[in-house]
Structure 1
Amino acid sequence: MTVQIRILDTVTRTAPLGVRFWDLAAHRPVSEGLSVTARSAARPNLVRPLRPSASGVHVLHDAPEVSATTWGDGSDAYWAGVARSAFTLEVRDLKGRFLPLTLAALAPHKGYLTAVVASPLGEAQDLLAAYAPPGFIPLFSAPARPGGAGLALIRATLKRTADEAPAAGTLVVAKALGEVAGFGLADARGDLALIFPFPELERRAFTPSPVASSANTGAALPVFTATVTLRAFHDVAAAPLADVPDFTRLASQPEAALLARKSPRSVLGDLTLQLGDELRVETLGGLRSLYVD
């Protein structure tokens, strides 16, 4: 007996918005511990959650503005004719690893939401786009986040030269061996942590004390160091960024000078990192704050 199957109808559902996040410090996706919400421009008081899928993608499904479009077939014709609505996404880390941020998005959106939204790209956004994988939104480490094995850790507090106010929202880029090594973002108090995989190791030897030598023979133990240069991006002419900054604005900031001393003016020079040690960057006068000018 041959059974014939008759297809009466085909129902498809298309996710109107999917977002993936990237840990700039650990170089891996972030799939858990985040609270991601959306507010539409038409209904700003209505907050909708983006639910994480099994593959770690945060998905917006049930917002009224896009509910009718979720039953599209996802074809080229669907994307060419679909009406889009403006949303603001807010990302917060429930585990305290990352700083919060907001993102502008149009939904439905084909593919994963990308952080590259400005054209032409500013230099800071260009650096971020080249550092994080395509289709991921980068997340910046919170100032109190601890380091880890094989990671470099630099902490600093930044102030604006003009008014001594915290240089909130300053984007700091670490470069080593001519390449971008990591990113940090100053919070509302100007505090930041740059955490990134330790650059290619420069090995040198030193003669330890008898206590430092495991065999108590005075044999030299290896020390691994790296030379790092910091660059700052901050709009010194604009008002400081909000406590929850907009990604587009922070990534579009122009480059600013990072000073080790305000007067007489002295630009921060190269830094030497040692594997396993945290580096706290201070001014030449021993003050805890660097200046952004």
Structure 2
Amino acid sequence: MTISLEQVQTTTLLGIRFWDPAREAQITDGLTVTVTPVATPYPSPVTAFRTASGIYAFQGIAGLRALEHGPATSTSPPFTLRYQLQVTDAQQRFLPTVADIELPLSYRGLYRPGATGSPPDEDDDAATRFYLFSAPTRTPPPGLAVVRAQLYDQLANGPAAFALLEVQTPLGLWFGLSAANGSAAVILPYPTFTRSLENGSPPPLVAQQQWPLTVRIYYEPAVQSFSNGQAVPDLGSIRRQQQAQSFATAEGPPANEQTGQLIFETETHLATAGLSHLLVAPASSP
């Protein structure tokens, strides 16, 4: 007697590599990640499972089951559906993230957050990194610097929530996000230590090493988009915020950026002179 075995092929239509910009390392544990269809009367979220390599992958996504069990030969999907991606961290290292995503993807492989238009370069590993923002309550990993701020909306007389911070050091640019209470922390590596001075003098002691620091804030509440009752705005709307102005002194004038020094093993706190917080004027303010 011959027994015919049926082979069932399942395609995973979405896999995401989450990345910690502070440690420049993949986030492989502690996250809960879901996708939920947007334009349906009874949305059914699907929770990702974690692969052996730490990728968060999905199966059984509503509206895509036929494609998951069909042949994975087409690079041009016949349709796309809109979903909401939600990320939370049980260890509270990272702020919650909400993002819109269209599925199925128009390319093979891991999700590429910045991919638009032409097919992405499959060899560009950095393009598959989905960066998360550090929570202000996160303890910085050993050997890393932290820039903290309590942002206060001068016009609304309240916290400047979900403002994007850009911190520039000699090493490059680093980003952070203020929480709903206006508190923010940008965790970043220290730049290269000074080995010698131009006049030939010995370099400063390790504890005295410092580097120039520039901080820009992007904050525009009118642009922030909240969907499906979420307490966190969509990531795309956060990134679309225009540059705000901040105040070194309460009397002004406002400035497009704040400067200071990043000192080794010393937390940097940004604040308006005489205050515990940094006054911010939204981008759309007169």
Q: TM-score, normalised by structure 1?
A: 0.79
The total of aligned residue pairs comes to 257
2:94 to 67, 92, 98: 98
Tell me which amino acid in the other structure corresponds to 1:92. Answer: T
2:190 corresponds to: 198
| 2:247 maps to 1:259 | yes
How far apart in 1 are the matches of 2:154 and 2:221?
A: 9
The Cα offsets for residues 91-142 of structure 1, whole Å up to 9 and x where unpaired, read as 00010000001111122223322222678xxxxxxxxxxxx92112110000
> Do the aligned partners of residues 80 and 221 (structure 1) sit closer, same or farther apart at CA in structure 2, a change above 3 Å counting?
closer
1:277 to 244, 252, 266: 266
2:9 to 4, 7, 12: 12
How far apart in 1 are the matches of 2:33 and 2:151?
A: 28
1:81 shift after superposition: 4.0
> Do the aligned partners of residues 98 and 274 (structure 1) sit closer, same or farther apart at CA in structure 2, a change above 3 Å counting?
same
SS of corresponding position for 1:134: helix
1:291 corresponds to: 279
2:172 corresponds to: 179
How far apart in 2 are the matches of 1:235 and 1:22?
A: 26
| 2:240 maps to 1:243 | no
1:116-265 to 2 correspondences below 5 Å: 116=114, 133-177=126-170, 179-180=172-173, 182-202=174-194, 221-222=205-206, 223-235=208-220, 237-238=222-223, 243-265=231-253
2:122 corresponds to: none
1:288 shift after superposition: 1.2
Tell me if structure 2 keeps the 8 A contact 1:40–1:85. Answer: yes
How far apart in 2 are the matches of 1:243 and 1:204?
A: 50
> Do the aligned partners of residues 43 and 49 (structure 1) sit closer, same or farther apart at CA in structure 2, a change above 3 Å counting?
farther
SS of corresponding position for 1:20: strand
Tell me if structure 1 keeps the 8 A contact 2:225–2:234. Answer: no
SS of corresponding position for 1:80: coil
Tell me which amino acid in the other structure corresponds to 1:29. Answer: Q
1:145 shift after superposition: 0.7
2:68 corresponds to: 70
How far apart in 2 are the matches of 1:118 and 1:231?
A: 26
Tell me if structure 1 keeps the 8 A contact 2:271–2:279. Answer: no
SS of corresponding position for 2:237: helix
How far apart in 2 are the matches of 1:221 and 1:64?
A: 59
1:209 corresponds to: none
2:201 corresponds to: none
How far apart in 2 are the matches of 1:160 and 1:238?
A: 15
| 2:83 maps to 1:87 | yes
How far apart in 1 are the matches of 2:48 and 2:6?
A: 29
How far apart in 1 are the matches of 2:234 and 2:61?
A: 22
Q: Flag structure 1 segments of 5+ consecutive residues without an equivalent.
A: 1-6, 120-131, 206-219
Tell me which amino acid in the other structure corresponds to 2:88. Answer: R
How far apart in 2 are the matches of 1:17 and 1:264?
A: 49
Tell me which amino acid in the other structure corresponds to 1:169. Answer: F
1:63 shift after superposition: 2.1
1:129 corresponds to: none
Tell me which amino acid in the other structure corresponds to 1:16. Answer: L
**Greater mean deviation of Cα atoms: 221-230 or 137-146:** 221-230
The root-mean-square deviation of aligned C-alpha atoms, in Å, is 2.6
Tell me which amino acid in the other structure corresponds to 1:189. Answer: N
1:171 shift after superposition: 0.5
Larger-gyration structure (1/2):
1
Tell me if structure 2 keeps the 8 A contact 1:85–1:106. Answer: yes
SS of corresponding position for 1:149: coil
How far apart in 2 are the matches of 1:194 and 1:81?
A: 39
How far apart in 2 are the matches of 1:133 and 1:101?
A: 20
